[in-house]
Structure 1
Amino acid sequence: MQELNQSQIAARLDQLTELSVQLGSNHDTDSLLERILLVAKGMTNADGGTLYRPGEDMRQLNFHILLNDTLNIHQGGSSGVPVSGGVPLYDDQGEKNLSAVAAYAAHFRLSVNIEDVYKADVFNFSGMVKFDQLRGYHSQSILTVPMSDHEGELVGVLQLINAKDPATGGICAFSQTDQRFIEALAAQAAVALTHQRLIFQLEELLESLVNLINIGIDEKSPYTGRHCQFVPELTMMLAEAVHHTETGPLADFRMTDADRKELWLAGLLHDCGKITTPVHVVDKATKLETIFDRIALIDTRFEVLLRDAEIAALRRKLEAGSDHAAIDQELAAQQATLRAERDFIRGANVGGEGMKPEDQERVRGIGQRRWTGPDGAERAFLDDDELMNLTIKFGTLTDAERKEINNHIVMSIKMLEALPWPKHLKNVPEFAGGHHERMDGKGYPRGLTKEQMSVQARVMAIADIFEALTAKDRPYKKGKMLSESLRILGNFSLNGHIDPDLFDIFIRNKIYMEFAHKNMDEKQIDFIDEAKIPGYTP
């Protein structure tokens, strides 16, 4: 055992300081652990070292990294060589394992410094002796130091083998100074590992909360649930393609892993405001649907009119001298007209891409019919609200309901901006809140232009539109064919709706096809002639 001089102590302090800096900047747990073991081994001039990590059930110490210079062993860590096995912390009866030095140090949070394992009778070193016999090695001095966090929870165990005298190269014992330095290093390492673990747990908690929100939206509406999962997926596909682009206006766009995580979270949260939108609006499949489809009420009124016509005809037949054949003919014509109008109203209720003005007028004409309700009062066949809904020109939503739907993005932004995002996630509200903006400033809710939006927000806008066009599970429409979806998206790139540079990458890298084969119904995937896609030049 050799005591250190002042310069050697100063060198070790420098090593500890340097390691402290690395512990603060290194976010890769495996490389961090390997660095800790290498510094400990170098600091004490040890021939070998082992770093143990406790198993999830805290019943065993698992080998994590194994080093030995003499035997040229490097397992675990950056070696790529797997390491297995470990030291049990408890026996079969549940009693603490105190015979193994690593387990003892772990249980009592005490360092163990042994000069010669072959002369020690306190611990069971049969495993080490067997290792020596198999490898032709001779273990002698051993220093075992537990690593505990601020709450005393075990983080790991650091074990060093065979300290070497720098002057002679002979094996010697680990000094008390060695032990104190390694204990200081282990304490620093435990703080760094705990810090990393807490960050990981917080990020995991955040992702779980995000998924919880999406589960809530999914349970509320299975239609939007699919959208909440596919938009981030498509967003990342396009963003990666932009990241790898080496020419054109977007050649300088690059993402780090942190940037990717930020964008992924934004994608998951882009429609979080829909949790505040009434489900009967989100899932409005027909024009007359509220919490139920009111077409059934109108069917009943038609049935009343049909029966009233029949009753009136029967009464006329009872009159003396009535022409029964003429009455039957008139009744048949009258009922045929009513049934045709009923079928027309049923069709109008479905909604679609565009309702003709003459069809809207026909609805209004039918609405002027009179009928007698259960209370005996005569009233218009369709009330004002029914007329307004049945004459919706596009889709199934009234202007008020569309505003309610559109308000989800305002709520999304409000919810996201209210959260105290850490620095590396500070752009989540901007990325998520811009997917309904347009490049020409005519979008909502803020009327931003292309120059005022990040690339990520513009990417998400394309992903949101394309997924909505191709979605096959919406209550109010069928999923469009792939070619039609690309035609619409291409026209959007020409009219200032989406970023034409991103659209070019979307087509050129065949992101649309990758997404289609993975998530669309195969029946929707038709032949694509890229030369005919508006806004794209092959």
Structure 2
Amino acid sequence: MVEAKLNANNSSHPVEIASVVGTEIFERVEKLNAIGIALSAQRDTRSLLEMILTGAKSILNADGGTIYTATDDRHLRFEIMLTESLQIKMGGTTGIPIPFDPIPLYGIEGNTNDCMVAAYAAVHNETINIPDAYAAEGFDFAGTRSFDKKMGYRSKSFLTVPMYNHEHELIGVLQLINAQDSTTGEIIPFSDQAKRVAESLASQAAIALTNHKLVQEFRLLFESFISLIAKAIDDKSPYTGGHCRRVPILTMMMAEAACGVESGVFQDFSMTEEELYELKIAGLVHDCGKVTTPVHVIDKATKLETIFDRIKLVDTRFEVLKRDAEIELLKQKVALLEASPQVDLSTTIEKLAANYQQTLQQLDQDRQFLHICNMGSEFMSEQLKERVLQISEYQWVDQSGNKTNFLTEEEVYNLNVTKGTLTKEERDIINHHMVVTIDMLEALPYPKNLRRVPELAGGHHERMDGKGYPKGLKREEMSIPARMMGIADIFEALSAKDRPYKKGKTLTECLTILGKMKLDNHIDPDLFDLFIDEQVYLRYALEHMDPDQIDNVDLTKIPGYTPKNSG
């Protein structure tokens, strides 16, 4: 273009010519710089490729162009195509697929594909500037001619530039078509200056694409490593499989719901893409401290379980007591018969047999009672605890022949756990996983966009009234996303069907418990209302709960919740 203007001015006005040339060069440099800055800031690959092509087209005043990217199997894949005069735009952010097969860089025998101009430029790392494709020798433009005939177009000047990064790796190819005279619009060849500008832009683009790819690869590696840790934690216990995967899913559902509301408490709440990513990562590692929690504590399905459920030992002792009762009955019968062989003892023996049956019945009832206590599904009242103590005082002869109490002190202590299956000491061990989680996460050198991960992941067992753990934080001391994870963690635990100590609860049961927790100042009240108002609970249920758990919820009966449309 500069050459065309120089010829048009007959060099009779050197100052004016210099001014025109200087202005055009300055504009190109400015555009090139602007594109370079934009490329470094762009994070979406499709948008990045589109920016490269549209930027090159604008700077060099081309009618159209194509960007190809190099594939691992040594092909050039069409990424974006556009021709302004034909109003054609495919690939990139358009969502319109490009209906052309990738171009092979090499033949079957390993020879270079020199007949295709894009492949030639890529393989030989050489810019190809063709003034007229129809007159070009050595390259196959049959496809171009066919396209032109079909579209009523004339493809003429081609500028094909390979994109190599700083490590001399092929990234792709930038191809521009039909340079236009800025004054007349006439199709002209690409100038040598245009070639240098395109090469400069291609170099910037290659670096930007490489950096973007590296960032994506490191991000993928990081996410994969985090997911691996989460999977290892879930796999550590067959009873918590999927928990570390489902909690971030539900947390992200809540975050998206909060960002999407246009009225109410959260109408001004928003999260950037990076903040959402940070929350997702925090969700995946929210229980990473459980890698140090003993399996027999995590998996403790019953009160007497250690490496096995010791209720089996208790069952054996009951059988011993039954055997001893039977032996005692037989001894009494023999003694009676020996003392009074001529007397009718049928009535006395019947009484002995009745007492024996009563003893067996009582032992069976006691056995069934201890089984129920062992499950941890019922609240242990003082009356129930007293009965455990009474049973423990039964006497039996152990394996060593010693007469001893039926239950050990440690067994009584476990069976009299008031709620659930864990003793206070075991509960402390479980709770300690949050301390370990925070210590582990705070020890990592995070990039700027992930620095809140420890805070977000470490607060899901805190309470709004400050009675939670491990730090006893109150509502105002916690971020909204951290409070979201608290609700997600509880709801997932309630609805999960893979826990050893309970069945997966229905939606109504889950929301009822959450509602009571809201009234008890355990969970965030506004987030609980959002959870129901935006039907986050239902979306999650349809995707991650069994159909038999998804009942018809009567929201008017959920504690602490008032439906929007109610008076």
The answer to whether structure 1 residue 140 and structure 2 residue 156 are counterparts is yes
Give the letter for the 2:355 counterpart.
Answer: E
8 Å Cα contact 2:79-2:98 kept in structure 1 = yes
8 Å Cα contact 1:148-1:187 kept in structure 2 = yes
- Structure 1 residue aligned with 2:89: 74
The answer to whether structure 1 residue 401 and structure 2 residue 401 are counterparts is no
1:42-85, Cα deviation, whole Å (9 max, x unpaired): 22232321111223x33321222222234343222344433121
8 Å Cα contact 1:146-1:154 kept in structure 2 = yes
The answer to whether structure 1 residue 43 and structure 2 residue 68 are counterparts is no
Are residues 440 and 426 of structure 1, via their aligned partners in 2, closer, same or farther at CA, if it must alter by over 3 Å?
same
CA drift at 1:527? 4.0
CA drift at 1:2? 4.8
1:97-145, Cα deviation, whole Å (9 max, x unpaired): 1221110111122212233333332323333333333334333332211
Structure 2 distance, partners of 1:172, 1:502, is 63
Higher CA-based Rg: 2
Structure 2 distance, partners of 1:442, 1:215, is 30
- Structure 2 residue aligned with 1:321: 339
CA drift at 1:359? 1.5
Structure 1 distance, partners of 2:242, 2:58, is 54
1:471-521, Cα deviation, whole Å (9 max, x unpaired): 333111123343333222222212211111112222222322333343334
CA drift at 1:370? 2.2
- Structure 2 residue aligned with 1:360: 385
- Structure 1 residue aligned with 2:80: 65
- Structure 2 residue aligned with 1:441: 466
Structure 2 distance, partners of 1:149, 1:187, is 7
Structure 2 distance, partners of 1:318, 1:491, is 63
Alignment of 1:102-141 (within 5 A): 102-141=118-157
The answer to whether structure 1 residue 149 and structure 2 residue 165 are counterparts is yes
Alignment of 1:345-494 (within 5 A): 345-494=370-519
8 Å Cα contact 2:326-2:356 kept in structure 1 = yes
Q: Secondary structure of the residue that 1:92 maps to in structure 2?
A: coil
CA drift at 1:429? 1.5
The answer to whether structure 1 residue 87 and structure 2 residue 103 are counterparts is yes
8 Å Cα contact 1:441-1:447 kept in structure 2 = yes
- Structure 2 residue aligned with 1:29: 45
Structure 2 runs not aligned, ≥5 long: 7-20
Alignment of 1:203-222 (within 5 A): 203-222=219-238
8 Å Cα contact 1:58-1:89 kept in structure 2 = no
Are residues 486 and 353 of structure 1, via their aligned partners in 2, closer, same or farther at CA, if it must alter by over 3 Å?
farther
Are residues 37 and 312 of structure 1, via their aligned partners in 2, closer, same or farther at CA, if it must alter by over 3 Å?
same
CA drift at 1:400? 0.8
Are residues 367 and 422 of structure 1, via their aligned partners in 2, closer, same or farther at CA, if it must alter by over 3 Å?
same
Are residues 287 and 103 of structure 1, via their aligned partners in 2, closer, same or farther at CA, if it must alter by over 3 Å?
same
Identity %: 53
Are residues 118 and 520 of structure 1, via their aligned partners in 2, closer, same or farther at CA, if it must alter by over 3 Å?
closer
TM-score computed with the length of structure 1 as normaliser: 0.94
Structure 2 distance, partners of 1:232, 1:53, is 34
Give the letter for the 2:159 counterpart.
Answer: L
Q: Secondary structure of the residue that 1:250 maps to in structure 2?
A: coil
Q: Secondary structure of the residue that 2:504 maps to in structure 1?
A: coil
Q: Secondary structure of the residue that 1:225 maps to in structure 2?
A: coil
Give the letter for the 1:73 counterpart.
Answer: I
Q: 481-490 vs 395-404, which deviates more?
A: 481-490
Structure 2 distance, partners of 1:166, 1:508, is 58
Structure 1 runs not aligned, ≥5 long: none
Give the letter for the 1:336 counterpart.
Answer: Q
Structure 2 distance, partners of 1:81, 1:342, is 70
Task: Select which of 160, 183, 196 maps to 2:176.
Answer: 160
Q: 364-373 vs 73-82, which deviates more?
A: 73-82
CA drift at 1:146? 0.7
8 Å Cα contact 1:141-1:173 kept in structure 2 = yes
Q: Secondary structure of the residue that 1:254 maps to in structure 2?
A: coil
Are residues 447 and 90 of structure 1, via their aligned partners in 2, closer, same or farther at CA, if it must alter by over 3 Å?
same
Give the letter for the 2:207 counterpart.
Answer: V
1:391-442, Cα deviation, whole Å (9 max, x unpaired): 1110110111111111122222122222222212222211111111111111
Are residues 218 and 100 of structure 1, via their aligned partners in 2, closer, same or farther at CA, if it must alter by over 3 Å?
same
1:123-182, Cα deviation, whole Å (9 max, x unpaired): 233333333333343333322111112222221101122333445544333222221111
8 Å Cα contact 1:2-1:165 kept in structure 2 = no
Q: 419-428 vs 133-142, which deviates more?
A: 133-142
8 Å Cα contact 1:46-1:160 kept in structure 2 = yes
Q: 477-486 vs 14-23, which deviates more?
A: 477-486
Are residues 81 and 527 of structure 1, via their aligned partners in 2, closer, same or farther at CA, if it must alter by over 3 Å?
closer
8 Å Cα contact 1:234-1:463 kept in structure 2 = yes
Q: 492-501 vs 228-237, which deviates more?
A: 228-237
- Structure 2 residue aligned with 1:199: 215
Q: Secondary structure of the residue that 1:223 maps to in structure 2?
A: coil
8 Å Cα contact 1:62-1:84 kept in structure 2 = no
Give the letter for the 2:322 counterpart.
Answer: L
- Structure 1 residue aligned with 2:9: none
8 Å Cα contact 2:504-2:549 kept in structure 1 = yes
Structure 1 distance, partners of 2:448, 2:40, is 16
Structure 2 distance, partners of 1:524, 1:170, is 70
Structure 2 distance, partners of 1:301, 1:353, is 24
- Structure 2 residue aligned with 1:307: 323
Structure 2 distance, partners of 1:415, 1:273, is 7
Are residues 485 and 134 of structure 1, via their aligned partners in 2, closer, same or farther at CA, if it must alter by over 3 Å?
closer
Structure 2 distance, partners of 1:294, 1:358, is 23
Give the letter for the 2:388 counterpart.
Answer: V
Structure 1 distance, partners of 2:180, 2:514, is 71
Give the letter for the 1:150 counterpart.
Answer: H
The answer to whether structure 1 residue 510 and structure 2 residue 525 are counterparts is no
Structure 2 distance, partners of 1:125, 1:93, is 23
Task: Select which of 204, 224, 227 maps to 1:188.
Answer: 204
Structure 2 distance, partners of 1:188, 1:168, is 30
Give the letter for the 2:396 counterpart.
Answer: W
Q: 403-412 vs 440-449, which deviates more?
A: 403-412
- Structure 2 residue aligned with 1:497: 522
Alignment of 1:12-27 (within 5 A): 12-27=28-43
CA drift at 1:528? 3.0
Structure 1 distance, partners of 2:247, 2:159, is 54
Give the letter for the 2:391 counterpart.
Answer: I
Q: Secondary structure of the residue that 1:457 maps to in structure 2?
A: helix
